[in-house]
Structure 1
Amino acid sequence: MTNLAQTPLSDRLRALVDTVQHNERTLRRFQNVELCLIGAQDFASFLATLFDHLPQEFALASVSIWLDERTPILRDLLDPGALRALNQRNLKTGREGGSAAARLCETGRPWLGRVSEMDEPAQTALFDAAALPASAIVLPLAAGGQLSGYLCLGSQDAGRFGEGMATDILERFASIVTASLDNVAHRERLKQLGMTDPLTGLSNRRYFDERLREEIQRAARYSLPVACLFIDVDCFKRINDTYGHLTGDRALAAVAACVRQQVRLGDTLARYGGEEFAALLQGDRSDALIAAERVRHAVELLELQDDEGARIALTVSIGVTARVIRGGAHQAAELGQALLEEADRAMYQAKNNGRNRVEVFEGGAAKPHEADAGLV
């Protein structure tokens, strides 16, 4: 066989080897991203891998993901408050995005092509209007027949995602994204169960103590004021004994919801134990007293009824303490415990002074706080 006859075969073999090596490198890069997704301990880390790591690794112009908030396991992740905290514009949840992606992938297969070929609602729903990519692929995220969302990858290269392109690696990647999302949702759910009181839906004592330590450390760095309310439902044993424990549970849930409405969104509120609630506020004593009086007044107006429809009177006694935190971060646990003890002592003083009242702790003793019209 002559050299001329061998040359085309050598070129084909070399091209095949180059293709195999390129695919192996691509697969390894996908595997690196997949390992980060699988190992993500929370939703924020999962999204950071998709929105930061993935586009850097593969020179993508954009990465967005649409998730269906109706999917049971995703409901907590996609709670409006949680979404605001994440502040990720590439995380889409609106119905328009889901409808647009579903039209593109109506056969259940990925859609790929030039973005200019998409209709305008799809472009608006899936991309930043100010920076549309030239081409894109939309990958369904589904497992066990359950669709949870769509992953959209965009490129400035108009020919990168086009008809006839093999999508097996990307479809495999989409399945890893789906499984990792499910893992993250379960992890977050377990954390929530471990930090949440199941009866009231508030944080539990474990979470409150952790947040107290963190808040004390933050306040100590800048000499900021921190306030604490200790709230106890008055005569709760009598409610249980008179109306039964189921009604007692309803009373606790009603008080919890009422208190939650009276404190700010960024404040930490927890069921601290039994019929006791604790609130950690960012602010000084004046702020704390206003919040405490609002809580006391709102609970007093609650309309809880027994099995016969008769109103059950509910009131709370509240202890208030506030201090400017000064000292090293290493003292956080000690300072936090002192703050709780002061609020607790003030609450017991409110009990002793007749209940349904607010007492404020001042320099070694709790002092009465009289409500006025401006505080309610």
Structure 2
Amino acid sequence: MYPPSSSTGSASPWQTETMAASEDDDLHAEVRHLRARLEELLERAHANEATQRRLQTVELDMLRRYPLVDLLRALILDYPEQLGLQGAALHVCPPQPEVSALGVSGDLPSGVYLAEVVPPEDIHLGTLEAESPDWFPHQASPGSLALLPLHAGGQYLGIYALAGEAGRFQPNQGTAFLQRLAAMVATSLDNAINHARLEEMALSDPLTGLDNRRSLERRLGEAVARSRRQARDLACLLLDIDYFKAINDRHGHPAGDRVLVEVAEALASAVRGGDALARYGGEEFAVLMEVEGAEAAEAAAERMRMAVSTVTSPDGDALTASVGLALLDPAEEGEALVERADAALYQAKAAGRDRVEAAD
């Protein structure tokens, strides 16, 4: 039997309690929803805070990354892992000479590519489309990707492609974090390229384009260590153009400079790919090369001397050169090797020039 209703139309006590209970349930449900929403926001805030900390760590490391090859390796291997990504690729475009040089030497990290690519106008988020370039030739196609155009100093440097799991990068998500990362990558890459360019200038002879004395001295220790490790003979050749001062005195320094350039080109065509050729100073050139015994070293020295004879002086006469040769002794350091080659060069000049003399 139901409780009687009031004749005035007001709710009965039972109805009032039912309505209050319903309102309580709605209130509790709303509180639970708000609490879940708050927890979601807090979790997202903590995740964003952790991401910002990781990004700051990456940024600080980028600023300290030299030489260029170390930065490139970090962009491909270290930073994606620190940022919780599946991987990354760097497409340098247009190819920078300093990066191309790493490809020639075999030091270019896997994941760095030199190619002409069409840059997106802005950061692109989404999936790898069938008609799009293969941004990750060195790894499996990612579930999602982010393409970050790199600009520094008004110059386009290329694309930094990030690989993420499915749903990590979506077209409608915010890009503030990625814009900051792109700016830092571009600035760091530009700085590292400029640093490599300046270092190359410091190690190159501006007239001939060959390595300079400082560069050869840096390579000397490596050559000595490699020679001992591989049990191969290391030869040092010091070559001096005979009577070069007379060319400068008679025809002027511009003519002398042209002769030096031509001699450098002739010597460069006579050395092998693994030999180290440098302008050692003035009209003197140096070569470090691995050989198989004294006879091979003397033959190489004669080849250098003959290469110089293909160059003519401003008077039309064939040039001549004196060459000093030394082979690395088992207990000898690189500096002593060069000193003995220099002493042999002095002997060649004292013996009448246009000859090769080997150190004892």
When structure 1 is superposed on structure 2, of 135-144 and 259-268 the one drifting more is: 259-268
Aligned match for 1:34, one of 40, 59, 64? 59
Q: CA offset at residue 312 of structure 1?
A: 5.2
2:283 corresponding residue in structure 1: 275
Q: Which amino acid aligns with 2:181?
A: F
Equivalent residues of 1:36, 1:49 under 8 A apart: no
Separation in structure 2 between the aligned mates of residue 143 and residue 34 of structure 1, nearest angstrom: 16
Equivalent residues of 1:141, 1:150 under 8 A apart: yes
Equivalent residues of 1:33, 1:49 under 8 A apart: no
Separation in structure 2 between the aligned mates of residue 179 and residue 84 of structure 1, nearest angstrom: 25
Separation in structure 2 between the aligned mates of residue 360 and residue 349 of structure 1, nearest angstrom: 9
Equivalent residues of 1:113, 1:137 under 8 A apart: yes
1:129/1:54 Cα in 2 relative to 1: closer, same or farther (>3 Å)? closer
Aligned match for 1:316, one of 318, 321, 330? 321
* Counterpart check, 1:119 vs 2:131: yes
1:354 corresponding residue in structure 2: 352
Aligned-residue sequence identity (percent) comes to: 37
Aligned match for 2:89, one of 64, 68, 78? 64
Q: 3-state SS of the aligned residue for 2:274?
A: coil
Q: Which amino acid aligns with 2:356?
A: V
Q: Which amino acid aligns with 1:91?
A: V
1:320/1:87 Cα in 2 relative to 1: closer, same or farther (>3 Å)? same
2:14 corresponding residue in structure 1: none
Q: 3-state SS of the aligned residue for 1:197?
A: coil
2:171 corresponding residue in structure 1: 163
Unaligned runs of 5+ in 1: 328-333, 364-376
Q: Residue by residue, what CA displacement relative to the aligned partner does 1:294-315 show, whole Å, maximum 9, x if unpaired?
A: 22222211256x4xxx645322
Separation in structure 2 between the aligned mates of residue 80 and residue 112 of structure 1, nearest angstrom: 32
1:289 corresponding residue in structure 2: 298
Q: Residue by residue, what CA displacement relative to the aligned partner does 1:164-200 show, whole Å, maximum 9, x if unpaired?
A: 1222211210110110011112222222232222222
Q: CA offset at residue 140 of structure 1?
A: 0.3
For the pair shown, the structure with the greater C-alpha radius of gyration is 2
1:339 corresponding residue in structure 2: 337
Separation in structure 2 between the aligned mates of residue 303 and residue 78 of structure 1, nearest angstrom: 37
Q: CA offset at residue 318 of structure 1?
A: 1.1
Separation in structure 1 between the aligned mates of residue 188 and residue 61 of structure 2, nearest angstrom: 9
Q: 3-state SS of the aligned residue for 2:167?
A: coil
Equivalent residues of 2:69, 2:102 under 8 A apart: no
1:326 corresponding residue in structure 2: 330
Equivalent residues of 2:239, 2:322 under 8 A apart: yes
* Counterpart check, 1:242 vs 2:246: no
Separation in structure 2 between the aligned mates of residue 144 and residue 238 of structure 1, nearest angstrom: 48
Separation in structure 1 between the aligned mates of residue 247 and residue 211 of structure 2, nearest angstrom: 24
1:142 corresponding residue in structure 2: 151
Equivalent residues of 2:76, 2:90 under 8 A apart: no
Separation in structure 2 between the aligned mates of residue 182 and residue 53 of structure 1, nearest angstrom: 19
Separation in structure 2 between the aligned mates of residue 233 and residue 58 of structure 1, nearest angstrom: 58
Q: CA offset at residue 130 of structure 1?
A: 6.4
Unaligned runs of 5+ in 2: 1-23
Q: 3-state SS of the aligned residue for 1:326?
A: coil
When structure 1 is superposed on structure 2, of 160-169 and 282-291 the one drifting more is: 282-291
* Counterpart check, 1:89 vs 2:94: no
2:79 corresponding residue in structure 1: 54
Q: TM-score, normalised by structure 2?
A: 0.85
Separation in structure 1 between the aligned mates of residue 169 and residue 319 of structure 2, nearest angstrom: 64
Aligned residues: CA RMSD? 2.3
Separation in structure 2 between the aligned mates of residue 19 and residue 57 of structure 1, nearest angstrom: 18
1:56/1:5 Cα in 2 relative to 1: closer, same or farther (>3 Å)? closer
1:245/1:272 Cα in 2 relative to 1: closer, same or farther (>3 Å)? same
When structure 1 is superposed on structure 2, of 249-258 and 16-25 the one drifting more is: 249-258
RCO (CA 8 Å, sep 6+): is it higher in 1 or 2? 1
Q: 3-state SS of the aligned residue for 1:254?
A: helix
Q: CA offset at residue 139 of structure 1?
A: 0.8
Q: Residue by residue, what CA displacement relative to the aligned partner does 1:87-130 show, whole Å, maximum 9, x if unpaired?
A: 323111122xx23xx2xx1xx21122211x1416x12xx22176
Separation in structure 2 between the aligned mates of residue 87 and residue 234 of structure 1, nearest angstrom: 42
Separation in structure 2 between the aligned mates of residue 29 and residue 81 of structure 1, nearest angstrom: 29
Aligned match for 1:231, one of 230, 239, 257? 239
Q: CA offset at residue 4 of structure 1?
A: 3.8
1:286/1:62 Cα in 2 relative to 1: closer, same or farther (>3 Å)? farther
When structure 1 is superposed on structure 2, of 126-135 and 243-252 the one drifting more is: 126-135
Separation in structure 2 between the aligned mates of residue 175 and residue 287 of structure 1, nearest angstrom: 54
Q: TM-score, normalised by structure 1?
A: 0.81
Aligned match for 1:300, one of 286, 302, 309? 309
Separation in structure 2 between the aligned mates of residue 205 and residue 3 of structure 1, nearest angstrom: 82
Q: 3-state SS of the aligned residue for 2:238?
A: strand
Q: CA offset at residue 144 of structure 1?
A: 4.1
More helix by share: 1
Equivalent residues of 1:55, 1:63 under 8 A apart: yes
Q: Residue by residue, what CA displacement relative to the aligned partner does 1:277-334 show, whole Å, maximum 9, x if unpaired?
A: 1111122333322322222222211256x4xxx64532221111113x424xxxxxx6
1:367 corresponding residue in structure 2: none
